[in-house]
A and B are shown apart, each in its own frame.
Chain A
Amino acid sequence: MNNRKKPETEISNPARRKLLAGGLAASGAAAALAIGGRQAAAAAPDPAITKIQDWNRYLGDGVDERPYGFPSEHEKEVVRRSVSWLTADPKSSVNFTPLHELDGIITPNGLCFERHHGGIADIDPAQHRLMINGMVDTPLVFTMEDLKRFPRENRVYFLECAANSGMEWRGAQLNGCQYTHGMVHNVMYTGVPLKHILNEAGIKSGGKWILPEGADASGMTRSIPLEKALDDCLVAFKMNGEALRPEQGYPVRLVVPGWEGNMWVKWLRRIEIGDQPWQMREETSKYTDLMEDGKARRFTWTMDVKSVITNPSPQAPITHGKGQTVVTGVAWSGHGKIKRVDVSIDGGRNWETARLDGPSLSKSLHRFYHDFNWDGSELLLQSRAIDEAGNIQPTKNELRAARGQNSIYHNNGIQTWHVKADGSAENVEVS
């Protein structure tokens, strides 16, 4: 039924990488020709109109050909991709959301980036349990059926890996917003407010922290302050209306709005309440931010204000030549809603305020557009987000001045794409 070929999802061979990068620009130019570039007048009738197409004459597939639908075969390049040389093993690795292929604010379930520390746990929901223990009046065990009897909420939140853009601390490295910014996705979750579940067990006075734990082979654990747990965390079992995908924590995951993705424990099986943080591996040896002076910040939970232009970008060159052009991208902040996004076409010297469109929700992706008439000259494209708390997205050099280049995590600096006259784009840094 699904005879789509598995696309190349890994960039591993340096020679191939070069080829691919060159090929992107070339195919962009070819596309521009094929589509016609600037069409002031048609020289000859367009066969796409004058010829009767097969799909117009013959019957298509019936309703049950795709009991669970999948995208058109013409969209087969729209997939998550990984960079094999980043990690030691695909079981503890990451791939990236193809931001440049998406629009609006919702990330389709099959394209949400993946990050696992012990592979994808394959869990029979009938055998899954959620335990609440520690400083509670009554330690409890819930089945999935039990969880679905609590009052539910629907909320749209972005999830960003703390290491998103982490490869760019030392300078421009990866050509494509999928690789530089693709460790983010935005999903509508259906779930139970965590406070309902914790209150069911009864939190003892003195309880100040929770330790969510995953059922996967890494036994993922993170310490989270109780205040956050009782504020807006969800125990979610649906994403964008359907069951969580296995790679996103099926059958149930924690949602920790605005905070780094590692804390959103997938395959959630236990939450312990305690009076101090545990200092687990993922909050000491990892997900701590090493500063230039050799000291390291810990518990850097919130994802700061950030944005990126997704089109044009290195994987999505301008193919139509000069004239009316849509520049678009996404912006988000762990501090709340995005108040404003500015776009610069001259490397941050002058700015214009972009148009936000679509739902504006707290701790969710926002979509912005900058519609302008491209004169065909080279562009140094940047976007700069401002959140409702007044935080302005910093430049990469401002971040480096404050932190050095070894902090790996929380790089929310302004991204620059160099768009050339042929419409191709490259990841650059500017003066």
Chain B
Amino acid sequence: MSKFRNLAVVAAVVMSAGIAPALAQDVGAGKKLFKKCVACHAVGPDARNKVGPQLNDLFGRSAGSIEKFKYSKAMKAAAEKGLVWTDDTVAELITKPRKFIKGTKMAFGGLKKEKDRNNIIAYLKTFSTGSETADAAKTKTDDQPEKAATTVTAAPSSRNLPIPQHGVFHLGRKALPEEVNAWDIDIRADGAGLPPGRGTVADGEPLFAENCASCHGDFGEGVDRWPVLAGGHDTLKEDRPVKTIGSYWPYLSTVFDYVRRAMPFGDARSLSDDDVYALTAYLLYVNDIVTDEEFELSRDNFSDIRLPNEANFTADTRKDEPHYAKNSEACMSDCKPGPVKVIMRARVLDVTPEGDDGEGAGPVD
């Protein structure tokens, strides 16, 4: 069964699904209009990039995301800002491409009539497997449409849809860019993933007092068993090392990532990106890594800052320790010179770990 057949029903489906703009859409008219575009754009089973990128699966896709296609700087910039192709953004683009994306390579004058734009969009949607329109269209093209309609009560979104083409088992569905953006908030040591934003030490200080100080203390010194965040310099070789952002943590990105994903404790994801930049700047300040209260941290200067202990992390070398040396035999008799003596006894559960050993969460963390 061709996945593109029976296109005429799309318009009706679009209407009933409530996705459609005010005007009715005509896939057939859209197909005709698309002749204006085929010099540069291809759609369908064998579509390749031409002067412009191929337009299958356009809806829901991030701008500038077709691999191997050379986009203009302007389109790449728009993509970086998070432009995603939807009914609205495509409509805006094809109204006047060079107005919507200044500097785009797309040399098309534009479609003045809203009706034409809607028809083109309706036509393009028949090539977008991720779009509800296309899925709905395909559901409707099922050989037993009535049965489909009556068996969807349990899971209307998943029953009787065509089997996706990806992978081996064809399970799951394509993640939409908006969905990936909502969850993919991790920041890597090289700064990859940092969001736009900025904040100064001075901005961070009141934020810290309000959101963080009840556990971590006003200056990151830690309250009760909660983590100490500042100080502890030159203590790592001592009997009771104090492991803080300044004395121990290798990368600043970890501070930003963790604060943004998990702090404040009990109200995660409540801080704005600017707040997180400001708090991170404040934590640099209380750790004496920056000294100017007006210091502003942003995506641009983030990766310039290195934490002092970065070089002191090494690989796992346990297997080289003498007790794991190969070919050793386990001794079975007279392994110690004389009778064995007790040299230390459990202090019967009244050992309260010292409050100053650095990791509020104590040795079990």
**Using a CB–CB distance below 8 Å, which chain A residues touch chain B?**
11, 14, 17-18, 20-21, 85-89, 91-94, 115, 117-118, 131-134, 137-143, 145-147, 149-150, 161, 163, 166-167, 169, 171-175, 183, 196, 199-202, 211, 213, 217-219, 221, 269-270, 272, 274, 276-281, 284-286, 288, 290, 292-302, 304, 314, 340, 342, 346-351, 380, 384, 386, 390-392, 394-395, 398-399, 402-403, 406, 408, 410, 418, 426-431
Contact = CB atoms under 8 A, between A and B. Distances in A.
Q: Is the interface of B mostly helix, strand, loop or mixed?
A: loop
A302 B175 CA distance: 33
Contacts of A88: 215, 224-227, 360-361
Interface in B334-352: 334-336, 339-352
A92 B364 CA distance: 10
A139 to B, nearest CB: 4
A173 B317 CA distance: 27
Contacts of B327: 390
26 contacts: A21-B348, A21-B349, A86-B364, A131-B175, A133-B183, A143-B158, A150-B169, A163-B365, A276-B188, A276-B190, A278-B257, A290-B236, A290-B248, A294-B312, A301-B316, A302-B318, A347-B340, A349-B335, A390-B327, A392-B330, A394-B321, A394-B323, A402-B322, A418-B345, A429-B343, A431-B343
A254 to B, nearest CB: 16
B352 A14 contact: yes
A351 B332 contact: yes
B364 A166 contact: yes
A281 B188 CA distance: 11
A20 B184 CA distance: 49
Chain B's interface size range is 35 or more
Contact of A284 (B249, B336, B339, B345): B249
A166 B353 CA distance: 12
B258 interface: yes
Contacts of B138: none
Interface string B146-172: 000000000100100000001111111
Contacts of A92: 265, 361
Interface of B: 155, 158, 166-175, 179-180, 183-184, 186-190, 215, 224-227, 236-237, 241, 243, 245, 248-251, 253-254, 257-258, 261-262, 265-266, 268, 312-318, 321-324, 326-328, 330-336, 339-353, 359-365
B166 A348 contact: no
A138 B268 CA distance: 29
Given A11-B349, A86-B362, A146-B172, A410 B318 contact: yes
A17 B361 contact: no
Nearest to B352: A85
Contacts of A142: 171-172
A349 B186 contact: no
Contacts, number: 307
B184 A173 contact: no
A17 B349 contact: yes
A292 to B, nearest CB: 7
Contacts of B324: 304, 391-392, 394
B171 A149 contact: yes
B328 A392 contact: yes
Nearest to A270: B183
B251 A284 contact: yes
Given A118-B262, A398-B322, A430 B175 contact: no
A17 B170 CA distance: 57
Contact of B314 (A91, A280, A298, A395): A298
B186 A297 contact: no
Contact of B249 (A143, A285, A394): A285
B342 A196 contact: no
B173 A296 contact: no
A87 B341 contact: no
A386 B173 CA distance: 46
Contacts of B265: 89, 91-92, 118
Nearest to B342: A428
